[in-house]
């Protein structure tokens, strides 16, 4: 299942898309349920995981937003 949305954090809007499943997988982020995670801020991709790391978290705020998504979907 895909989930899309926006998280407002520390004065910035982060758009995201997460492809997640009911069960963990070896393809998931840290072998969890989310196999694809994309986060964008101000038109720039600040994190992307597509069954493997493509773009590492840009900064501590991005890491915080990523953790929010992992808490919910992974």
Question: What per-residue confidence (pLDDT) applies to 70?
Answer: 97
β-sheet with 12-20: strand ranges across: 2-9, 12-20, 34-41, 44-50, 53-55
The domains of the chain are located at 2-73
Q: Give me the pLDDT at residue 71, please.
A: 96
The helix, strand and coil proportions of the chain, stated in percent and rounded to the nearest 5, come to 25, 45, 30
Neighbours of 56 (CB within 10 A): 12
Per-residue pLDDT tens digits for 11-70? 999 999 999 999 998 989 999 999 999 999 999 999 999 999 999 999 999 999 999 999
Q: For residue 56, what are its two tokens?
A: 């590492």
Q: Give the pTM.
A: 0.94
């Amino acid at each position: 299942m895909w989930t899309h949305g926006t998280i407002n954090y520390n004065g910035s809007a982060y758009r995201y898309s997460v492809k997640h499943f009911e069960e963990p997988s070896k393809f998931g982020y840290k072998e969890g349920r989310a196999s694809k995670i994309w986060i964008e801020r101000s038109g720039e991709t600040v994190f992307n995981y597509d069954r493997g790391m493509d773009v590492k978290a840009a900064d501590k705020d991005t890491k915080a937003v990523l953790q929010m998504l992992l808490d919910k979907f992974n």
